[in-house]
């Protein structure tokens, strides 16, 4: 969730997307993913740029050639979703946060170029639930802030810390401020 909120502090247009869709919701009860396509696109884009894990492993099942390497059965291989998600082979403007790429039926160039929850027979069983939770949390966050805004407390860039999973840096402290914009028209914290 932290890496999903982080881009909202660094890319105000992403927060505006979530904000506009939350304001437009006028149905009864809680919205579903179908009611929040732009918020879902923001979440998918955040997961593309900052996937939950930076490294995955698999075991080769049958003789395979991968690039210049010949892989035999039972060979263990490792690959990085973080790097795949930022590869120009699979994504136009791969380092840009562009949720529009997910709208109007947008999908990755290759079905296995987007792996925040894994893929194939080892895909996370909770993929749909996890995505739904993230999208609704973004919606609820906006609702709870009554139009507030998430922002960074300082201007420093943050980078994932590779470990078993991509950890949130210990000094990542986004601040959420209710009631944005303030009546005075000032800046956050003013």
The region of weakest confidence among 16-25, 86-95, 165-174 is: 165-174
Residue 190 has pLDDT above 50, yes or no: no
Comparing 69 with 161, which gets the higher pLDDT? 69
pLDDT in tens, 120-129: 888 889 999 9
Residue 184, token pair as written in the block: 């005075």
Residue 44 in this model has a pLDDT that exceeds 80? yes
Model pTM score: 0.75
Q: Tokens 């998430």, residue?
A: 150
Residue 68 neighbours by CB distance under 10 Å: 5
Q: From CA 143, how far away is CA 137, in angstroms rounded?
A: 10
Q: What pLDDT is stored for residue 128 in this prediction?
A: 92
Structure tokens at 25: 């919701």
CA distance 120 to 112: 8
pLDDT category of residue 24 using cuts at 50, 70 and 90? confident
Using one digit for the tens of pLDDT, what is the confidence trace for 68-112?
999 999 999 988 999 999 999 999 999 988 888 998 888 888 888
Q: How far apart are the C-alpha atoms of 39 and 35, rounded to whole Å? A: 9
Q: How far apart are CA 24 and CA 26, in angstroms?
A: 6
Backbone angles phi, psi at 28, to 5 degrees: -85, 145
Please report, for residues 3, 48, 55, 58, 89, the alpha-carbon distance to residue 77 in angstroms, rounded to integers and kept in the order given: 27, 21, 10, 5, 20
Sign, CA dihedral 91-7-186-171, equals: negative
pLDDT score of 182:
40
CA angle 34, 36, 42 (to 5 degrees): 125
Asked if 42 and 14 touch (Cβ cutoff 8 Å), the reply is: yes
Q: What is the average pLDDT score of the chain?
A: 78
Return the pLDDT at 54: 82
pLDDT of residue 171: 56
């Amino acid at each position: 969730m932290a890496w999903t909120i982080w881009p909202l502090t660094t890319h105000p247009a992403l927060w505006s997307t979530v904000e506009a869709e939350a304001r437009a919701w006028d149905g009864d009860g809680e919205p579903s993913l179908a009611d929040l396509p732009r918020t879902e696109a923001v979440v998918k884009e955040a997961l593309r740029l900052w996937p939950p894990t930076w490294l995955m492993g698999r075991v080769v099942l049958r003789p395979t050639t991968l690039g210049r390497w010949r892989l035999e059965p039972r060979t263990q291989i490792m690959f990085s979703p973080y790097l795949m998600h930022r590869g120009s082979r699979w994504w136009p403007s791969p380092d840009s946060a562009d949720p529009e790429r997910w709208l109007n039926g947008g999908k990755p160039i290759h079905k296995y170029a987007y792996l925040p929850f894994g893929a194939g027979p080892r895909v996370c069983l909770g993929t749909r639930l996890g995505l739904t939770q993230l999208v609704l949390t973004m919606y609820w966050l906006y609702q709870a802030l009554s139009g507030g805004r998430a922002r960074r407390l300082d201007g420093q860039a943050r980078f994932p810390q590779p470990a078993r999973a991509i950890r949130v840096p210990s000094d990542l402290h986004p601040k959420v401020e209710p009631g944005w914009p303030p009546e005075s028209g000032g800046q956050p914290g003013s």
